Amino acid sequence: MDDLDLGQISGHINTSWLGRTIVLVGSVDSTNSWLKERAEEGRAKDGTLVISKVQTGGRGRLGRSFHSPEGGLYMSFFIRKPDMKMDTSLATIAAAISARDAIHELCGIRPRLKWVNDVYIGDRKVGGILVEGKFDPVGRTMDHLVIGIGINVTTEEFPEELKDIASSIVNETGIRISRSLLCARIADNLEKMLRETIEDPEGLVEDYKGSLMYIGHEITVSSGGGVRPARLVGVDRKGGLVVRYLDAEYEVTSVISSGEVTIRGGSGNGA
Ligand code: BTN
């Protein structure tokens, strides 16, 4: 039997509102885009979870593409009128923790997280998060959020250009977990973590920091303005990355918001 199956997912999910409506499709350009289109047409129900076996135009942060062949889990949740405290940064952190913990529960290995949205096992990226929100200028609140999560589960082959940076759970651990079970555990964890973003955002960020890669290490920060060496100090209460630039004449600590930059470990190996 296919390890990604609607009956299996709904049989294992224990949420009260998130993922109570589930749509499973064989192929779509992007599960985030699918939900955003329906949201524009007023046809997306709060809490809807859409999953695709394959994505033909999977998207990542900063306009990048996300390789999405058979063997991965590609899922997006729709949140209508999220609480004011739940912005895209905290929702990204909540989703990253949810994916980390679900993988840990199912294969006993705790992935690390690379700011702000990457899930790593060893030195390879096995998953990523893309949160997209629409602002309501009239109400001056968020109209909705789409939380997209992609995990390479049983994918064994990666294109040449991704081989050194991306991998899958099966390649890194030798463990072949059920995508249905992983999907249900992520949904359960995410419902809990979204509550945390409202009730205890500082606790959420502390939890995230506990798995953060490169903390205290030298990194390079790339943005439109170039590449700068820095030390990764931590994450602030809103999920911004706190860095100390190493090329500045004075000690300068800056907070970087998620939309702006990519970071690399000091070794510059693309991780
Ligand atoms: C990244 O690596 O920058 C984020 C990748 C996010 C991928 C997921 S897969 C499900 C959802 N649909 C998309 O098109 N992207 C997200």
pLDDT value at residue 66: 98
Please check whether the domain covering 6-209 is classified as CATH 3.40.1350.10. no
Question: pTM for the full model?
Answer: 0.95
Check: CB of residue 49 under 8 Å from CB of residue 75.
Answer: yes
Q: Is the CB of 60 under 6 A from ligand 1?
A: yes
In single-letter form, the type of residue at position 40 comes to E
Which of 66, 120, 125, 167 for a ligand 1 pocket mutation test, highest count of atoms within 8 Å of Cβ?
66
CA nearest neighbour of 105 among 167, 166, 181, 172: 181
- The domain locations on the chain are 6-209, 218-263
Ligand 1 centroid to Cα of residue 150, in Å, is: 5
Q: For residue range 124-155, what is the model confidence (pLDDT) as tens digits?
A: 999 999 999 999 888 889 999 999 999 999 99
Name the band, by pLDDT with cuts 50, 70 and 90, for residue 105. very high
Q: Looking at residues 80-106, what average pLDDT do you find?
A: 96
**Which ligand 1 atom is nearest residue 72's CA?**
9
CA nearest neighbour of 221 among 260, 253, 252: 260
Name the band, by pLDDT with cuts 50, 70 and 90, for residue 177. very high
pLDDT value at residue 266: 53
Ligand 1 centroid to Cα of residue 125, in Å, is: 13
Dihedrals φ, ψ of 207, to 5°? -60, -45
pLDDT at 184 over 80: yes
pLDDT value at residue 251: 81
Q: Looking at residues 66-81, what average pLDDT do you find?
A: 97
Indicate the average pLDDT of the chain.
93
**Residues above pLDDT 90, as percent of the chain:** 83
Q: Is the CB of 127 under 6 A from ligand 1?
A: no
- Residues counted in the chain: 271
Question: Which pair of tokens denotes residue 210?
Answer: 């506990």
Ligand 1 centroid to Cα of residue 57, in Å, is: 10
Sign of CA dihedral 215, 216, 218, 221: positive
